[in-house]
Amino acid sequence: MRATTLLNTVLGIKFTRVTGVEFTQDGLVCDVEPTTEIPCCGGCGRRVRKVYDQRKPRLWRHLDLAGMSLELRYAPRRLRCAACGVTTEMVPWADPMSWFTHAFEQTVGYLAQESSKTVVSTMMRVAWATVGAIIGRVVERMLPSDRLAGLTHIGVDELSYRKHHKYVTIVVDHMTGRVVWAREGKNAETLRSFFEELGTERCALIQAVTIDMSKAYISAVSESAPNAQIIFDRFHVQRLVHDALDEVRRAEVRTLEDSQERSALKNTRFALQKNPWNLTKIEQTKLTELPKTNATLYRAYLLKESFAAILDRRQPNVVLMKLEEWISWAKHSGLKPFARVARTIAQHLDGIVAYVATGLSNARSEGTNGKVRTITRRSYGLHGASALIALIHLCCSGLNLQPVHVLPRFHQN
């Protein structure tokens, strides 16, 4: 069997024939060519008969062969396309702008869905930054074009990256738990561009949107999705109360002169923020002593705990009543941070009670949210928001990638 015949079978790339083989210092180089008679335009994909000239041979990385690096070599033709002008022909094994074959990119995508940066880079012998560009192309090829169809219940969340200086807005379909849309930015304009993409008809079908209490999101949703009920995400609402508690604690620490007392109070931070059933023995003791050691902080703690307990209840009318009581209590607690939070909560009461009525929150797709945050950490070293967005789509939009497995096809020429 000739080496080229053998490699034709082993590589099994569609519409591609191996014409020569050469070993170099780096590994194996296979000369290849498309089997189609008439070349296709790299710009529009149409068949073009007029060949302009032929470029110098160039290389594409393909999957390693038994641990040896393997590259395809071909001198692409330039075509005179009626629609695009002079363009380079499309090759059957790779995207027009890529130096990697489809099979290579698909494998990188498959690995990047599940494994660490190091595994992807080491196994595939590519820099992590290059992985970002590859994922971008994989996602573009695979992301279903109808992913915005049939949306009725969605969650909008912002994601900070680059040490919290930059943001990406993410839209999750509550029904499937999948990320359906993501874009850089977190202002009203960002979210508006999602609704624009959705179009008026599909916007009218949106029944519920979970968001945080930011004015930007509220105005974008109420303008663009007239039939949608706004639900304030429980996690974000509770965070306001947690932050108020922490503000009270820090203020109390500052009033103490004795350094031992100060550090004792400083150390209560985690005990105060935790759910009571998650407390360790030591933390429990700290909290038991709190009413005696610091009555102000204890009052703040009770406010935080009772707020969470209210949101745990099931009957919207009871929750509304209890929240009104809570607001009044917080306003008159003598704790400024809580009085402030109480005003915010009073302004957004409908959307908070809507959470109890519907049970919808961004935390419902917590699997997705947690995953998105892990992905953000993995995205360090990738270039810009677009690479992060591609990685989010790759891992959270339901793309099913499989490693490339080739079977021998003996009747191929």
Q: Which residues bind Zn ion (CB under 5 A)?
A: 41, 43-44, 81, 83-84
**In the complex with Zn ion, which residue's Cβ is closer, 39 or 109?**
39
CB of 41 to Zn ion, least distance (A): 3
**In the complex with Zn ion, which residue's Cβ is closer, 50 or 336?**
50
CB of 84 to Zn ion, least distance (A): 3
CB of 20 to Zn ion, least distance (A): 29
**In the complex with Zn ion, which residue's Cβ is closer, 79 or 345?**
79
Tokens 């307990």 belong to residue: 309
CB of 43 to Zn ion, least distance (A): 4
Compute the distance between CA of residue 221 and CA of residue 228 in angstroms, rounded to an integer.
8
CB of 297 closer than 8 Å to CB of 248: yes
**In the complex with Zn ion, which residue's Cβ is closer, 81 or 237?**
81
CB of 106 closer than 8 Å to CB of 138: yes
CB of 81 to Zn ion, least distance (A): 3
**In the complex with Zn ion, which residue's Cβ is closer, 43 or 316?**
43
Cα Rg, the chain, nearest whole Å: 29
CB of 88 to Zn ion, least distance (A): 10
CB of 40 to Zn ion, least distance (A): 8
Q: Is residue 78 exposed (0-12), middle (13-18) or buried (19+ Cβ within 10 Å)?
A: middle
**In the complex with Zn ion, which residue's Cβ is closer, 41 or 220?**
41
**In the complex with Zn ion, which residue's Cβ is closer, 84 or 320?**
84
**In the complex with Zn ion, which residue's Cβ is closer, 85 or 403?**
85
CB of 353 closer than 8 Å to CB of 327: no
- Degrees to nearest 5, angle at CA 353 with 350 and 355: 115
**In the complex with Zn ion, which residue's Cβ is closer, 41 or 290?**
41
CB of 195 to Zn ion, least distance (A): 33
Q: How far is CA 370 from CA 115, 127, 160, 225, in A?
A: 16, 26, 13, 27
CB of 37 to Zn ion, least distance (A): 18
**In the complex with Zn ion, which residue's Cβ is closer, 84 or 346?**
84
CB of 152 closer than 8 Å to CB of 175: yes
CB of 85 to Zn ion, least distance (A): 8
